[in-house]
Structure 1
Amino acid sequence: MMLIECPWCGPRNETEYGYGGEAHVAYPEDPSALNDNEWAKYLFYRQNPKGLFAERWVHSAGCRRWFNAVRDTVTYEFKAVYKPGEPQPIKTTNAPATNTAAQGGTK
């Protein structure tokens, strides 16, 4: 069993959470201008890297709020959690980090 840290509620059992996919995927600026292939790419095509990855999670059995997390896809270990709108604390393959001090130097 794994504990996941909710930014609002603290650590809770993994069964309380739902996975929301890749974090930091921007909604298209002009959705009506997209063709079918572009919509399919926006809706279904996501990265699946090995290593640190920024993801969205929802605390569905608790506060029901969404948050972001940096998780290692190899070990399943959560490295950081952060609220929407906060800077990503650790550099990952799918979104640039904005807080270099939290990274412990250069990586």
Structure 2
Amino acid sequence: MLIPHPLLGPRDAGEFTYLGDARLLERPDGMDEGAPAAFHDYVYLRDNIAGVQRELWFHEQGDRSWLVVTRNTLTHEILKAELARDVVLARKEAGK
């Protein structure tokens, strides 16, 4: 499987480490009133859907960047790959 790295072009998936659901970028605020319940959900509850999912991939054997890869888990077709930092910054700018 080739992952279309936004900066380096197509890279073999063997260069990457898969971390899981990209929701990990949405870490709860530990100072919020409902923090214990929010952290429980953040750590233990994951969707494992068959179909299109956003995932975190770390370019371990390359530039050591984090990517958010939108991939169909049934066909392994990669629909989009973005730098994780850009995804987080866009969410902050949107006020989410």
Instruction: Provide structure 2 residue ranges, at least 5 long, that are not aligned to the other structure.
Output: 88-96
TM-score when normalising by structure 2: 0.74
After TM superposition, the score normalised by the length of structure 1 is 0.67
Q: How many residues align?
A: 86
Relative to its length, the structure with more helix (as a share) is 2
Where 2:81 maps in the other structure, the secondary structure is strand
Cα deviation code 1:44-83 (max 9, x no counterpart): 2111111110111111100010011100011111111112
In the alignment, does 2:67 pair up with 1:67?
yes
**1:13-41 CA deviation, whole Å, 9 max, x = no partner?**
11101112111341111258533x65332
In structure 1, the residue matched to 2:57 is 57
Aligned-residue sequence identity (percent) comes to 31
Q: Which runs of 5+ in 1 are unaligned?
A: 88-107
Structure 1 residue ranges, 4+ long, deviating more than 4 angstroms after superposition:
none
